[in-house]
Structure 1
Amino acid sequence: MCRAARTGEVQVLALFDNPQVIGLKHTSQDLYALERLRAAYPDKVCFNGFDEMFLAGAGCRR
């Protein structure tokens, strides 16, 4: 497990230690934190971006 500096990161690391959690959608602009998560848990899925970007990329229409 990688070291985390903030409470939010500690919570995410605890979630990723759960084998039932397969990934997350990262909406923070802290790309360094995302890189550390991906390095520590390469088997987990990480989507990056805000809801509007995610929906547009997934091909969803309103």
Structure 2
Amino acid sequence: MHRTRFVDDLAPGDRIAIEGWRGTVRNNHPHGTNDRLIELVLSSDNRSQIVLKAGEVVEVL
């Protein structure tokens, strides 16, 4: 069973999924006024970071 979490509450080690894409969180930092910069340890593609809207809900695996 999967659970959801607000982007603001993601912690290092959380494995997340967004529309079929998967990644493991390294760090979660504010980015501007309404965004969060999520640094990744691993991802299903070659991304090392992703910017998401603060308050957005993501699936945690």
RCO higher in structure (CA 8 A, sep ≥6)? 2
- State the TM-score, normalizing by the size of structure 1: 0.22
Larger % of helix: which?
A: 1
- Structure label with greater radius of gyration: 1
Larger % of strand: which?
A: 2
